A and B are shown apart, each in its own frame.
Chain A
Amino acid sequence: MKPKYLSIPYIVWMGIFVVAPIIFVVFYAFTTSEGVPTLQNFAAMGRFTSVFVRSFWLALISTVLCILIGYPVAYILSREGLRLQRLMIMLIVLPMWMNFLLRTYAWMSILENTGLLNRFLSFIGLPTVNIINTPTAVVIGMVYNFLPFMILPIYSVIVKIDRSLFEAAQDLGANTVSVFRNVVFPMSLPGVLSGIMMVFVPAVSTFVITQLLGGGMVMMLGDLIEMQFLGTAYNPQLGSAIALVMMLIVIAFMYVVNRFGQGEEKAVGA
């Protein structure tokens, strides 16, 4: 039996950095600036419907794209030699050593109308594209920034699957496609699920990307919440209320996704 006291630092850490902030958010969300209990902060929420819809929609698109790009990468990677795997993982993680803002700023100079991409396109005689300051640019920025968080969990799950299972399936007459569909994919689902969580949640609350790549033309939830804390009116109560509603929707979404995932795993087990 492991000694319980080893978990004390972890519990303290979680208390200070996870539980306490949530308590603050809930407290602020249900009070006025004088600390009087109120539901006022939620009454205004309808005004922000379009921002909520847009944020969840763009986050969903980004998550799907991350799966479509990240899953094959993780799968192919897991079948390579160990040395190449290490190198590739290193290359995937490498950009994350650079500041998030800098990376997004770099995308600005790639996607701009006079940017690298368009200069290249006109150099080889193709028509230029207008991507910067559109939602497309925001999605590109999110996919780029969050893709490693999709690849890594899927990879680490697939790479641990016992190879003999594949062989067993093949011995039982399964071809490559059905080995993948009936063995690899169901067993890799936990990785996909945690990938979804690690991409979707930060994508919903992202800001800065909208400002740099989206040209500030539309707001996402992250911008809206930031504005309540750092904007002209300084309204942390409203900001907390928005954050709380966002968290509840995210939790509901994750619950559905997890139920779906568990259903799949059970189906495999049966």
Chain B
Amino acid sequence: MKRVMIVIIVFSLLLPTVLTGCGQRVGSNGVVNVHNWGEYIDESIFRIFERETGIRVNYSTFETNEALYALMRRGGANIDVIIPSDYMIARMIEEDMLEELDFSNIPNFELIDPRYKGLAYDPDNRFSVAYMTGTVGIIYNSSFITDDITSWNALFDERYAGQILMFDNPRDAFGITLKYLGYSLNTVNEDEIHEAFDLLVRQKPILQAYVMDQIFDKLEGGEAWIGPYYAGDFLAMLENNPDLRFARPTEGTNFFVDAMCIPKDAANKTNAEVFINFMTRTDIAMMNMAYIFYASANQEAAAMFAAEISAEEYAVMFASSEVIANSEVYSHLPRHILELYDRLWVELKR
């Protein structure tokens, strides 16, 4: 039902453009190569963009920040717009892999919530325009778990043995374990990381599996009871299983920002900026939000979306300022810490 409402609203927003019908021929103004997370955009916006600007969109997807990084390091990928997460943007800036943006081509930047400008990963906000934000939390099935979940402790609770899922990547798995222990998820203190590792080793026997996107099927179908994942994905799961609940642990969690950037030496830099500007527009942000249920960084769209979903759902999707204050954004860690993560991860899965 809410999707129908959103479609109607978006359509009324689009109506002026549709009626004036600025019918540019697709491709007459070149192309823009967009590389994004899988299932992280409403692909029907490409047609609108092509009609309005005459720029053709070549779209492809990646699965993890690290896969994107590896692709760019190999070179020759021919990409104009990428949408990595905070810590990866910091790494790419540090390694001189991003192009500075010309904000005169991105006037819609002023629509971005000031809380998502100039964050630690891009302090002067020269390289990125925030796209979507979100938090990590615990998703659980209330028909199996009747307790109120408030702590990461639940993922280490033996009463749920065999029904617990865990992140299948070292950064997130260590991150929430560090949070549970009361440490920073960006710690470079190796003792704290080893302490988290010991806890992960103790957790393993009561786990059902380490998962990434398989968590959708396993939680929706009742195969598992509880697991950590992203707030936006919880709302997608909720549509298939109304018994699911979302909890943000009181110890704090990871708050993330995925932002649009242009790789160094992109062939179509101006088109890329036109595309980023388009993505930041309120009607387009609405469409993307309605499709993926992550919180848009566009302040106006965020406010409008409140009318479309329940207050509880809104609270899950949009982290309040208190939640953000209690959360941490991943930062780019020094190489020896990343290698320690990898080494311990292999040991965990020996």
Contact = CB atoms under 8 A, between A and B. Distances in A.
Interface string B190-226: 0000000000000010011111101001100111000
A232 B341 contact: yes
Nearest to B335: A233
B345 interface: yes
Given A47-B343, A216-B349, A234 B209 contact: no
Contacts of A223: 349
B325 to A, nearest CB: 27
B217 A109 contact: yes
Interface residues of A, number: 31
Contacts of B223: 112-115
Contact of A47 (B66, B70, B217, B346): B346
B350 interface: yes
A51 B346 CA distance: 9
B206 to A, nearest CB: 12
B314 interface: no
Contacts of B291: none
A133 B210 CA distance: 9
Centre residue among A218, A227, A235 by max chain B CB count within 10 A: A227
A217 B339 contact: no
A227 B207 contact: no
B301 to A, nearest CB: 33
Interface residues of B, number: 34
Given A234-B69, A234-B70, A216 B210 contact: yes
A230 B345 contact: no
A114 B221 contact: yes
Interface in A217-246: 217-219, 223-224, 227-236
Given A114-B221, A232-B338, A235-B339, A216 B66 contact: no
Contact of A218 (B67, B221, B342, B350): B350
B264 interface: no
B158 interface: no
Contacts of A232: 66, 169-171, 338, 341-342
B6 to A, nearest CB: 30
A253 interface: no
A108 B208 contact: no
Centre residue among A133, A217, A228, A236 by max chain B CB count within 10 A: A217
A94 B204 CA distance: 38
A57 to B, nearest CB: 14
A108 B341 CA distance: 28
Contacts of A216: 168, 209-211, 349
A113 B347 CA distance: 27
A215 interface: yes
Interface in A186-227: 211-212, 215-219, 223-224, 227
B64 interface: yes
Given A47-B343, A50-B350, A217 B209 contact: yes
A229 B64 CA distance: 12
Given A211-B168, A232-B66, A232-B170, A217 B210 contact: yes
Interface in B130-163: none
A100 interface: no
A215 B211 CA distance: 7
Interface in A98-145: 108-109, 112-115, 132-133
A113 B339 CA distance: 35
B73 interface: yes
A51 B350 contact: yes
A255 interface: no
Nearest to B350: A50
Nearest to B87: A232
28 contacts: A47-B343, A50-B350, A51-B346, A51-B350, A108-B217, A133-B209, A211-B168, A211-B210, A211-B212, A215-B209, A215-B211, A216-B168, A216-B209, A216-B211, A217-B209, A217-B210, A219-B350, A229-B70, A230-B67, A231-B342, A232-B66, A232-B170, A233-B342, A234-B69, A234-B70, A234-B73, A235-B342, A236-B70
Q: Which 7 A-B pairs have the closest CB atoms?
A: A215-B209, A216-B210, A233-B338, A219-B349, A216-B168, A233-B342, A232-B338
